[in-house]
Chain A
Amino acid sequence: MNPREEKVKIITEEFIENDEDANVGKRKKNSKVQRQPRKKQPPTTGPDKMVSEESHLGNQQEPAQDKPQTRLLSVTARRGPRSLPPIPSASRIGFAEFSMRERMREKLQAARSKAESALLQEIPTPRPRRLRSPSVKELETEFGTESGKEVGSTQQEDDSQSYSRVKFHVSARKIKSKPQVPPGFPSAEEAYNFFTFTFDPEPEEAEEKPKHQDGTNQEEEEGEEEPPAQEGANRMDEEELPHGKDAENFLLGLDHTANEFLAVRPADYESVHVRLQREKEMLFIPSRLTVPTYKKLPENVQPRFLEDEGLYIGERPEVARTNQNIMENRLLTQEPGRRWFGDDGRILALPNPIKPFPSRPPVLTQEQSIKTELETLYKKAVKYVHRSQHMIGSGDPSGNFQLDIDISGLIFTHHPCFSREHVLAAKLAQLYDQYLARHQRNKAKFLTDKLQALRNAVQTGLNPEKPHQSLDMIQKTINEYKSEIRQTRKLRDAEQERDRTLLKTIIKVWKEMKSLREFQRFTNTPLKLVLRKEKVDQKADEEAYEAEIQAEISELLEEHTEEYEQKMEEYRTSYQQWKAWKKAQRAKKKKKKQATEEHPEEETEEPYPEEDPVKPTPPEPTDQAAIEQQVRERAAQSRRRPGEPTLLPELSLAGSVTPNDQCPRAEVWRREDVKRRSVYLKVLFNNKEVSRTVSRQLGTDFRVHFGQIFNLQIFNWPESLTLQVYETVGHSSPTLLAEVFLPIPETTVVTGRAPIEEVEFSSNQHVTLDHEGVGSGVPFSFEADGSNQLILMTSGKVSHSVAWAVGENGIPLIPPLSQQNIGFRSALKRADAISSIGTSGVTDMKKLAKWAAESKLDPNDPNNGPLMQLISVATSGESYVPDFFRLEQLQQEFNFVSDEELNRSKRFRLLHLRSQQVPEFRNYKQIPIYDREIMEKVFQDYEKRLRDRNVIETKDHIDTHRAVVAKYLQQVRESVINRFLIAKHHFLLADLVVEEEVPNISILGLNLFKLAEQKRPLRPRRKGRKKVTAQNLSDGDIKLLVNIIRAYDLPVRKPTASKFQQPSRSSRTFREKHAASPDTRSPTHSADYPLGQVLVRPFVEVSFQRTICHTTTAEGPNPSWNEELELPFRAPNGDYSTASLQSVKDVVFINIFDEVLYDVLEDDRERGNGIHTRIERHWLGCVKIPFSTIYFQARIDGTFKIDIPPVLLGYSKEQNMIIERDFDSVRSLSEGSYITLFITIEPQLVPGESVREKQFLDLLAGDEEEHAVLLCNYFLFLGKKAWLVIGNAIPEGPTAYVLTWEKSHYFIWNPCSGHFYGQFDTFCPLKNVGCLIGPDNIWFNIQQYDSPLRINFDVTKPKLWKSFFSRSLPYPGLSSIQPEELIYQNTDKVAAAELQDRIEKILKEKIMDWRPRHLTRWNRYCTSTLRHFLPLLESSQGEDVEDEHRAELLKQLGDYRFSGFPLHMPYSELKPLIDAVYSTGVHNIDVPNVEFALAVYIHPYPKNVLSVWIYVASLIRNR
């Protein structure tokens, strides 16, 4: 089907609908016309077609408003039947028609544009133009629903309208003159028909008729929506529609060319003007003009702008002004139009509901598809909880609370049914109430008394009876009194006057009422006023009156004189000034005169002097008579005349009301009207009606008694409580008189205690009554001539009481306060207005006010109410602004115990200390639950430390200087730990996330290469051990692995001379030692040992944290053990954190012992039966490695020099071995014993990041760098070539050594131990060299190797050493930060000796402690021998004294088997000494008859440097 046809059909169907809806009568009207097409209808056409034809005609009378409603519906509903297959011929013709139509359209376009432009010009004034423009828009929309094409065209024309108006002025005229259809148009159609169809001449007429019908029809339809002004253009538009219709009709007609159906009539044409006229009658087009306000409001009502009155009006939604006007115009013509308008004459509107910011879902990124966003999510149904935030005790079973509202009654203070008398009565009653209230307060009396008292005070003050007060003071107080008297008098006068006027008004009203009653000859109210006179004593009264007046006069006089004096003074000064000025003026004038003579042209310069001071007038003296006159007048006005009786009004209801039958008719009507009226109240809780009172008839006294109590079982916190007063007249519907808002009671108000309160209300209703009732809101008058009009509004009072109910057990059913706070915001808001904006405790009100002003808070918005109030109060300065700031104002709520109690709790203290990371408690685990389980001793250490913080303890340290140093160190350590702990909490990304570095090209290339590499799974590769972060470790997880591989050059035993009892020989042996070759000695050597033992049977014992492990015993001076020892590691306090591990101060002692077997058989005869040997072990030396070194280095691998005491009794170095190994002359310099070790921690720990920790550990005795610098400086001072070497050493790690150049050799010095090594010494602990620091430059190692063995130390070679200061950056000649000279004080020798004794004593005690099961005997003789020997060792540095010493010892202790050695250490603390002694294991000898010897020698060096020698020995007496 052709689209055009379809469209036409759609339109026809609309009419079908209309027709169906329309009255049948309407159809009858044009039954003639109806009949005609029906005749024409071919029988084959569907029923709907027939109806459609009908509709065309029927629609002519259709009311306009029906159409748009039905349109859409009908289209959709009818689409089905309409799409029946068309008649076969239709398509063909339709097609033919199509081209024709195209042509037609073109023509039409041209014509239309012409016509339109012409029409546009028709409009001469701007006003119609404005009127028309909306209609054009309407036209658009109408067409829009019908056809897109046409919309397009019309729009185009619309657009063109705007600029082509003037242009087509002339052509418009033309068109207007003949508004009919262009004559050529139908002819074209005719032609078309003529050429397309073959038919008789008759149908030509018939054809025209439907066309016309259709045409008008269409025009009518369109015209219904179109304004008349546009009519012409529309007509042109519509031309194509009739055309389509036309064709259809032709079609139908063609099939059955039945001429007899057609009635031939002349063309039915209706003039446009007529049609317009008719349309005007039917259609209403709202004007776009602004509606004047008075039209929108009830008559005689001024627009009322609520906003100006300070009421809150929300922001109105934005609507275009024109649309508003149209709407207003439309509303005005509608029936109840005015109710749409508010008091301000604007259309009522709710506040704009549109949020100022969009809450749209986030914009989709491209990655997400829209589908996912639009996906439906299943959500389980949730029970809707109504306004849960306002709910009280939602989870609380006892959540019902009760509010009792007692409404006792209602009194109207004005009612439309009030008669005039009632009005007066109400007024009287009100005045009387006022009088009573005033009388009760009796302010006048109070003020009079006060005045009297003040006067008395002044009197007494004037009397010079009080000499002790200074005159000034008295004067001052009197002045104060006087001013107060003045004030009080004024107040009293005002009060008295008010009292008097009130009384007068009461009497006046009463008189009016009486006259009214007389006038109307009936009484309506029982009110009766009785004035009770109280006689007064005339004489006394007069006296008092006079006295009062006199007093006042005198006071006033005084005031006036004072004032006069003051004014006089002013006058005098001003007069003086004036006089002076005058004089000056005169002098000036004189001068000027002279001047003008000389320079006449300058005369005009000063015609007016600055200000001519007016001559002051002297003030008038006070006139006593005038004042008296004044006072008396005033007294007469405001005061009771003397002798006049006091009047006491009494109002009573004793009067009688005239019965109805004696009243005039109007009054009877009024009374009847009153009787017909009844009143009831509705109770609204949170804006919902919860109950209402019974309806009570209005009494003649306009009082209604209810006496009802409503118990509101409430669930929500009350937000509002409202009573609505409804009045019913007869049987009509109740009208709302007024709303009364009741305050929500305080929580303290409970039933039984609540007072009855009265709340006033008023209504703005306007009532005019046709009887005696005065009405309300309308003017009325008491006067006969209607002057002095009064307007009274209905008003009244509701007496009620609201209270919280009390439960059965006496508990008030009030929601708890806390819930109010939490659950209900506005309750909180009341407490703290600022909390409503999210903050609380803000005290800077000025800032707040500023903020409020800036953010343009609407002061009328109820949401901002509390805030605004707060601001206004605060800015006015009346409120109390606290001068403190509450940081956590809710803290109080959470305090479940008092602070003292909390502080007393041991558990809390423990938790607190732990969270403060106090060292003692930092790692405290499982703090007990109960206080009673916490031992008091837990705190002892901590408290002791706190106590001792500033007390220097000398007990542990013996030497005071050391103690101070130790304390200082302790403090430094603490502060460093604390700093470290703080630093521990600052994480960098790298601390948390392991991320690969961006690889550079070479690594990338290597990796690429690796990809190509063949995979050989069988090739094993060493993999790095996995590092463990020391966080989740516990005791026993960490083990220290010590691999003892081998040792070199251990000392070997020497045959003890004591065995042979030949001192001479033994001495000879000693002599021999240097002379004889070892080969000659060896036989004797082996012969020395009874059990045929080898030279030495060494084993290694590793002790760490008092755990001891030892290897098996090997043999010979170069033993090889290759054993792995495993020692458990315990972190201090079980804390395995990095920080804790770093601070472990434990040292791994690796002691080398010689195992010696002794035959203990006492009897040689038993030798055959068994072997009884005793194992003794002799300490040979040790290596100490601090744990921290192992921890930082992860593993320690290398050969270390064994720390062997300078004198080892009974042992000597195997010289021969060294000589045999004579590979280097330098080698001999570092002779000694060595041990090869490998130490590591299992699992491998991740060392801490901070190196500072290590530094601080080293700080215990100054670190290596400091030592090295010092040593280097010594060398330089001695004139040697020396450098500081920065590099890595074992076991220190990164450290500093000193390099010296001596005799064409380089020596490397360990600054801490003082050992030195040759450059090519394999046992040199320095493993690599990074840089050298000389006195004037720094060199960096850029050689291929960094091992001291392989590098060249010649810093002059720039290829090997990169210097820091070069030609480009010359040495600036830096000055040293060190002092030029170090001053060494001598150490106090006495103190050193004392210390020596104390150390010896302590060590002896320790040894005895270590041997708890054995008796420890001290060999004093031996001790003294040793003591003498130690200074010798110090002076000789342990060199070459051994033999002499041995000889001497042997000589003295001949029959003892002796093993012992001196230990040499620097002194810093006592503990290392003790540890060193312990590690030697001397105390372990459990031979029953063992004796010990211990000697300590301290050699003091300057600057308090102490060298400690400890000689430990065990002696076994030989039998």
Chain B
Amino acid sequence: MAAGGPSVFLLMVNGQVESAQFPEFDNLYCKYCFVYGQDWAPTAGLEEGISQITSKSRDACHALVWNFPIDITFKSTNPFGWPQIVLSVYGPDVFGNDVVRGYGAVHVPFSPGRHKRTIPMFVPESTSKLQKFTSWFMGRRPEYTDPKVVAQGEGREAQPS
């Protein structure tokens, strides 16, 4: 805290994207970014990152290991808008096109200490079977306009249809 400056609290995040389980896919890489509220600002570290491509391990669990480090420090004045890490995993499909394999988000743990989080990943579905086929065929699966939407609730309300 700088003398005379506004009071803030700091949140230091250290960790890594360890591994993933994508039973059907191989050669994946992942991206991460953070979503945080208005009262938050990163002070140090990388806000975004993209990992190496990893192959499935040969053992029984077939984990995709990245061990991709995360290191970021936030300052904030308000716990509202606590940072969330957004992960998106990409990999080649049958035709070699780079397609998204999963999105997921989780809050940075609220308590200090070592935490392990398992994030369920998901991808948006095509709106119709035909679209599903063509998107598969063209290698242009539906994607989010911005991976950060998975950490936001806006526009995902249940709507009467």
**Residues of A in contact with B (beta carbons under 8 Å apart):** 911, 914, 923-930, 933, 985-989, 991-996, 998-999, 1007, 1029, 1031-1032
- B53 located at the interface, meaning its Cβ lies under 8 Å from any Cβ of chain A in the complex: no
Query: Residue of B at shortest CB range from A934?
Result: B6
Of B22-30, B60-68, B107-115, B139-147, the one with at least 4 CB within 8 A of chain A = B139-147
Beta-carbon contacts under 8 Å, B35-55 to A: 38-41
- Distance A1069 CA – B48 CA, assembled complex (angstroms): 68
Query: Residue of A at shortest CB range from B78?
Result: A927
Query: Residue of A at shortest CB range from B126?
Result: A995
A996-B39 CB under 8 A given contacts A926-B8, A928-B77: no
Chain B residues whose CB sits within 8 angstroms of the CB of A994 once the complex forms? 142-145
Could you jot down 30 A-B contacts, CB within 8 Å?
A923-B38, A925-B38, A925-B39, A925-B41, A926-B8, A926-B41, A926-B77, A927-B78, A929-B8, A930-B7, A985-B154, A985-B155, A987-B155, A987-B156, A988-B155, A992-B145, A992-B155, A993-B124, A993-B142, A993-B145, A994-B144, A994-B145, A995-B124, A995-B126, A995-B142, A996-B131, A998-B134, A999-B134, A999-B138, A1031-B146
Chain B residues whose CB sits within 8 angstroms of the CB of A930 once the complex forms? 7
Chain A residues whose CB sits within 8 angstroms of the CB of B127 once the complex forms? 989, 995
Chain B residues whose CB sits within 8 angstroms of the CB of A925 once the complex forms? 38-39, 41
A998-B142 CB under 8 A given contacts A926-B39, A985-B155: no
Smallest Cβ distance from A1007 to chain B, in angstroms?
A: 7
* In contact, B6 and A996 (Cβ under 8 angstroms): no
**Residues of B in contact with A (beta carbons under 8 Å apart):** 6-9, 33, 38-41, 75-78, 80, 124, 126-128, 130-131, 134-135, 138, 140, 142-146, 148-149, 154-156
Chain B residues whose CB sits within 8 angstroms of the CB of A1029 once the complex forms? 145-146
- Distance A986 CA – B156 CA, assembled complex (angstroms): 9
Chain A residues whose CB sits within 8 angstroms of the CB of B124 once the complex forms? 992-993, 995
A996-B148 CB under 8 A given contacts A926-B39, A929-B77, A987-B155: no
Smallest Cβ distance from B128 to chain A, in angstroms?
A: 8
Smallest Cβ distance from B142 to chain A, in angstroms?
A: 4
Chain A residues whose CB sits within 8 angstroms of the CB of B148 once the complex forms? 1031-1032
* In contact, A996 and B134 (Cβ under 8 angstroms): yes
Smallest Cβ distance from B76 to chain A, in angstroms?
A: 7
Smallest Cβ distance from B101 to chain A, in angstroms?
A: 15
Top 4 A-B pairs ranked by shortest CB distance? A987-B155, A995-B142, A996-B140, A993-B124
Smallest Cβ distance from B10 to chain A, in angstroms?
A: 12
Query: Residue of A at shortest CB range from B5?
Result: A933
Q: Per a CB cutoff under 8 Å, which of B76, B140, B155 touches A926?
A: B76
Smallest Cβ distance from B82 to chain A, in angstroms?
A: 14
- Distance A993 CA – B123 CA, assembled complex (angstroms): 10
* In contact, B142 and A927 (Cβ under 8 angstroms): no
Query: Residue of B at shortest CB range from A995?
Result: B142
Smallest Cβ distance from B157 to chain A, in angstroms?
A: 9
Smallest Cβ distance from A806 to chain B, in angstroms?
A: 38
Chain A residues whose CB sits within 8 angstroms of the CB of B140 once the complex forms? 996
Query: Residue of B at shortest CB range from A933?
Result: B6
- Distance A926 CA – B38 CA, assembled complex (angstroms): 6
Smallest Cβ distance from B95 to chain A, in angstroms?
A: 10
Query: Residue of A at shortest CB range from B95?
Result: A1011
Chain A residues whose CB sits within 8 angstroms of the CB of B33 once the complex forms? 1032
Chain A residues whose CB sits within 8 angstroms of the CB of B9 once the complex forms? 929
Q: Which of B8, B77, B140 has the most CB of A within 10 A?
A: B77
A928-B7 CB under 8 A given contacts A987-B154, A995-B127, A1029-B146: yes
Q: Which of B9, B142, B156 has the most CB of A within 10 A?
A: B142
- Distance A996 CA – B137 CA, assembled complex (angstroms): 11
Q: Per a CB cutoff under 8 Å, which of B40, B135, B155, B156 touches A996?
A: B135
Q: Specify the main secondary structure of chain A where it touches its partner.
A: loop
Q: Which of A924, A930, A996 has the most CB of B within 10 A?
A: A996
Chain A residues whose CB sits within 8 angstroms of the CB of B135 once the complex forms? 995-996
- Distance A988 CA – B140 CA, assembled complex (angstroms): 20
- Distance A989 CA – B41 CA, assembled complex (angstroms): 30
Chain A residues whose CB sits within 8 angstroms of the CB of B40 once the complex forms? 926
- Distance A930 CA – B12 CA, assembled complex (angstroms): 22
Q: Per a CB cutoff under 8 Å, which of B75, B76, B155 touches A986?
A: B155
* In contact, A924 and B38 (Cβ under 8 angstroms): yes
Chain B residues whose CB sits within 8 angstroms of the CB of A914 once the complex forms? 38
- Distance A988 CA – B156 CA, assembled complex (angstroms): 9
* In contact, B144 and A993 (Cβ under 8 angstroms): yes
Q: Per a CB cutoff under 8 Å, which of B7, B41, B128, B156 touches A933?
A: B7
- Distance A995 CA – B131 CA, assembled complex (angstroms): 8
- Distance A933 CA – B154 CA, assembled complex (angstroms): 32
- Distance A996 CA – B127 CA, assembled complex (angstroms): 10
- Distance A995 CA – B76 CA, assembled complex (angstroms): 36
Known interface pairs A925-B38, A1007-B138; 13 further A-B residue pairs with C-beta atoms within 8 A, sorted by A's residue number: A924-B38, A926-B77, A928-B77, A929-B6, A929-B8, A987-B154, A991-B145, A992-B144, A992-B155, A992-B156, A996-B138, A998-B128, A1031-B146
- Distance A926 CA – B124 CA, assembled complex (angstroms): 34
* In contact, A992 and B149 (Cβ under 8 angstroms): yes
Query: Residue of B at shortest CB range from A989?
Result: B127
Chain B residues whose CB sits within 8 angstroms of the CB of A986 once the complex forms? 155
Q: Which of A911, A924, A985, A994 has the most CB of B within 10 A?
A: A994
Smallest Cβ distance from B78 to chain A, in angstroms?
A: 6
- Distance A139 CA – B151 CA, assembled complex (angstroms): 69
Q: Which of A927, A989, A994, A995 has the most CB of B within 10 A?
A: A995
Chain A residues whose CB sits within 8 angstroms of the CB of B126 once the complex forms? 995
- Distance A928 CA – B75 CA, assembled complex (angstroms): 11
Smallest Cβ distance from A1132 to chain B, in angstroms?
A: 15
Chain B residues whose CB sits within 8 angstroms of the CB of A985 once the complex forms? 154-155
Chain B residues whose CB sits within 8 angstroms of the CB of A987 once the complex forms? 154-156
Smallest Cβ distance from B127 to chain A, in angstroms?
A: 7
Smallest Cβ distance from A896 to chain B, in angstroms?
A: 16
Chain B residues whose CB sits within 8 angstroms of the CB of A933 once the complex forms? 6-7
* In contact, A928 and B142 (Cβ under 8 angstroms): no
Q: Per a CB cutoff under 8 Å, which of B39, B128, B155 touches A927?
A: B39
Chain A residues whose CB sits within 8 angstroms of the CB of B154 once the complex forms? 985, 987
- Distance A923 CA – B37 CA, assembled complex (angstroms): 11
Chain A residues whose CB sits within 8 angstroms of the CB of B41 once the complex forms? 925-926
- Distance A1113 CA – B144 CA, assembled complex (angstroms): 48
A927-B77 CB under 8 A given contacts A995-B135, A998-B131: yes
- Distance A987 CA – B157 CA, assembled complex (angstroms): 9
- Distance A312 CA – B142 CA, assembled complex (angstroms): 59
Q: Per a CB cutoff under 8 Å, which of A929, A988, A991, A999 touches B7?
A: A929
Chain A residues whose CB sits within 8 angstroms of the CB of B144 once the complex forms? 992-994
Smallest Cβ distance from A371 to chain B, in angstroms?
A: 16
- Distance A999 CA – B134 CA, assembled complex (angstroms): 8
Smallest Cβ distance from B103 to chain A, in angstroms?
A: 11
- Distance A925 CA – B37 CA, assembled complex (angstroms): 9
A926-B138 CB under 8 A given contacts A992-B155, A995-B127: no
- Distance A1494 CA – B131 CA, assembled complex (angstroms): 67
Smallest Cβ distance from A367 to chain B, in angstroms?
A: 13
Chain B residues whose CB sits within 8 angstroms of the CB of A926 once the complex forms? 6, 8, 38-41, 75-77
Chain A residues whose CB sits within 8 angstroms of the CB of B7 once the complex forms? 928-930, 933
Smallest Cβ distance from B79 to chain A, in angstroms?
A: 10
Smallest Cβ distance from A1269 to chain B, in angstroms?
A: 37
- Distance A924 CA – B40 CA, assembled complex (angstroms): 11
Smallest Cβ distance from A995 to chain B, in angstroms?
A: 4
- Distance A924 CA – B76 CA, assembled complex (angstroms): 13
Chain B residues whose CB sits within 8 angstroms of the CB of A988 once the complex forms? 155
Chain B residues whose CB sits within 8 angstroms of the CB of A999 once the complex forms? 134, 138
Query: Residue of A at shortest CB range from B100?
Result: A994
Smallest Cβ distance from B11 to chain A, in angstroms?
A: 13
Chain B residues whose CB sits within 8 angstroms of the CB of A996 once the complex forms? 131, 134-135, 138, 140, 142
- Distance A288 CA – B121 CA, assembled complex (angstroms): 64
Query: Residue of B at shortest CB range from A986?
Result: B155
Query: Residue of B at shortest CB range from A930?
Result: B7
- Distance A989 CA – B157 CA, assembled complex (angstroms): 11
Query: Residue of B at shortest CB range from A1246?
Result: B145
